[in-house]
Structure 1
Amino acid sequence: MPLAITQFQDDLPQTDDFKSIVLNKTPLIDVRAPVEFAQGAFSSATNLPLMNDEERQKVGLCYKQQGNEAAVKLGHQLVSESAREPRVNAWAEFMQANPEALLYCFRGGMRSKIAQQWLQDSGNEIVRLKGGYKAFRRFLIDYLESIPSLLVENNIKPIVLAGRTGSGKTIVIHQLENAIDLEGLAHHRGSAFGRHATPQPTQIDFENELAMTLMRFLETKPNHIVLEDEGRNIGSVNFSKEFFEAIKSGDRVVVNTPMAERVEITLDEYVIQAQHEYSNIEAWSDFMNAAFLRIQKRMGGERYKRVKQAFDTALNEQAQTGSIELHKVWIEILLAEYYDPMYDYQMQKNEHNVCFSGSIKEVVDFLSSK
Structure 2
Amino acid sequence: MFVDERYEDMVERDDLIWIDVRSGSEFQEATIPHAVNIPLFNDEERARIGTVYKQVSKAAAMELGLEIASEKLPHIVASVRGACADGKKPVIFCWRGGMRSKTVATVIDLMGISSIRLSGGYRAYRQVVVDQLAQYAGVELPPVIVLHGMTGVGKTNILHKLAKRGEPVLDLEGLAGHRGSVFGGIGLDVANQRTFDSLLLAQLQKLQHSPYIFMEAESRRIGRVTMPEFLFVAKQQGYNIELTAPMDVRVARTLLQYRLHDDQLFADQVLYALQYIEKRFSPDLRQRVFEWHAMGDYPSLVEALLVEYYDPRYQHAMESYDREFTCLDVTDYELATEQICTYAQEHIKRVTAFQ
Provide TM-score, normalisation by structure 1: 0.81
Equivalent pair of 2:23/2:43 in contact (CA under 8 Å): yes
Identity of aligned residues (%): 32
Counterpart of 1:147 (choices 120, 136, 149) is 136
* CA–CA distance in structure 2, aligned partners of residues 328 and 33 of structure 1: 44
The offset of 1:283, in angstroms, is 1.4
- The C-alpha deviation readout for 1:67-111, integer Å capped at 9, x for no partner, is 65554334223323x343333333233333553332111222322
The offset of 1:364, in angstroms, is 4.6
Which residue of structure 1 lines up, in the alignment, with residue 328 of structure 2?
Answer: 358
The offset of 1:297, in angstroms, is 1.3
The offset of 1:19, in angstroms, is 6.9
Q: Are 2:159 and 1:169 equivalent residues in the alignment? A: no
Larger mean CA deviation between 226-235 and 88-97 belongs to: 88-97
Partner amino acid, structure 2, of 1:233: R
Q: Are 2:213 and 1:229 equivalent residues in the alignment? A: no
* CA–CA distance in structure 2, aligned partners of residues 167 and 241 of structure 1: 27
- CA, structure 1 residues 39+304, in 2 after alignment: closer, same or farther (shift >3 Å)? same
- CA, structure 1 residues 229+113, in 2 after alignment: closer, same or farther (shift >3 Å)? same
Partner amino acid, structure 2, of 1:232: R
* CA–CA distance in structure 1, aligned partners of residues 216 and 193 of structure 2: 19
Which residue of structure 2 lines up, in the alignment, with residue 259 of structure 1?
Answer: 247
* CA–CA distance in structure 1, aligned partners of residues 14 and 214 of structure 2: 23
Q: Are 2:172 and 1:201 equivalent residues in the alignment? A: no
Counterpart of 2:35 (choices 42, 45, 60) is 45
* CA–CA distance in structure 1, aligned partners of residues 237 and 134 of structure 2: 16
Q: Secondary structure of 1:352's match?
A: coil
Provide TM-score, normalisation by structure 2: 0.84
The offset of 1:358, in angstroms, is 1.8
* CA–CA distance in structure 1, aligned partners of residues 255 and 315 of structure 2: 22
- CA, structure 1 residues 170+123, in 2 after alignment: closer, same or farther (shift >3 Å)? same
Which residue of structure 2 lines up, in the alignment, with residue 28 of structure 1?
Answer: 18
The offset of 1:197, in angstroms, is 2.3
Q: Are 2:275 and 1:293 equivalent residues in the alignment? A: yes
Partner amino acid, structure 1, of 2:214: V
- The C-alpha deviation readout for 1:142-189, integer Å capped at 9, x for no partner, is 222222322x1xx51223221111122112212321221111111222
After TM superposition, list the pairs within 5 Å mapping 1:211-222 onto structure 2: 211-218=201-208, 221-222=209-210
Q: Are 2:328 and 1:338 equivalent residues in the alignment? A: no
* CA–CA distance in structure 2, aligned partners of residues 368 and 101 of structure 1: 41
The offset of 1:30, in angstroms, is 0.8
Q: Secondary structure of 1:96's match?
A: coil
Q: How many residues align?
A: 336
Partner amino acid, structure 1, of 2:221: N
* CA–CA distance in structure 1, aligned partners of residues 212 and 179 of structure 2: 24
Segments of 5+ residues of structure 1 without an aligned counterpart are 1-10, 316-325
